[in-house]
Amino acid sequence: MQWQASFQKRLGYTFRRPELLVLALTHPSACAEQQGPAQSNQRLEFLGDAVLQLVLSSELFRKFPGRDEGGLSKNRAWLVNGETLAAQGRVLRLGEILVLGRGEEKSGGRDRDSSLADAFEALLGAIYMDGGYTKARAVILRQFGEALHGADAGQFVGNPKGELQELVQAKSAAGPEYRLVDTVGPDHARVFVCAVRYQGEELARGNGKSKKAAEAAAAAAALEVLRGAKTGRGKKRSTPAAGHA
């Protein structure tokens, strides 16, 4: 199939058993609408999660010999969280080729974080089953190369909520608080708006395609406010929609 050839070129890996690729892209909703037994990507997702954890744990352990267990765990937690995995799925344009049920299709499943993250992990499981650990590791390191490089800056790279909490709790035991203040748009393209407050004062607002993404955007904006305040340039602001929601 033409879509398989173009996708495998984009992925940088060619399946010897293309049926594994199709299975990795089959959402459970597609199976629910079929008559008779059918398989979804859930088993491959389980396997892919384990392979991803091992590869990234090994790479972080190798790259940061001076970082303690807590720092390594925080790095890994960010690399494998749902939003990050969904972003990896969007890079590969998995949404375009997911096999979905009609209901899931109509409700915006092609751009849903959970669907994309699950399919990405299932894809890694399929590569492992098709080509073994070395091939799967190569794909993972290629996909996460930029993120792993960015982790050199510290344990909170790409985790604005963690960085904001660390920053404010250096001053007091109180932490930032997040509140959902608005939702806009139709159900299939909902945008969430969250505010972050500290000691009763609103620091910033952010928006995104999920509540978690909006909170992260608000935290990133708050970090700019607090850093700007140190140099006399700070003012309250909100961020545009998060790109990896």
- Judge contact between 121 and 129, C-beta under 8 A: no
Sign of CA dihedral 90, 75, 81, 184: negative
User: Which of the residues 45, 59, 113, 121 is marked catalytic?
Assistant: 121
Distance CA 187, CA 241 (A): 16
Is 49 noted as a catalytic residue in this protein? yes
- Residues forming a β-bridge with 208: 192
Other beta carbons within 10 Å of 17? 12
Distance CA 77, CA 138 (A): 20
Which DSSP string do the residues of 148-215 spell out, in sequence order?
HHHGGG-TTTT-HHHHHHHHHHTT-S---EEEEEEEES-GGG-EEEEEEEETTEEEEEEEESSHHHHH
Is 96 noted as a catalytic residue in this protein? no
- Judge contact between 167 and 157, C-beta under 8 A: no
Distance CA 191, CA 184 (A): 5
- Strand-by-strand arrangement of the 177-184 sheet: 177-184, 191-198, 201-208, 238-241
Distance CA 195, CA 219 (A): 9
Q: Mind telling me the catalytic residues?
A: 49, 121
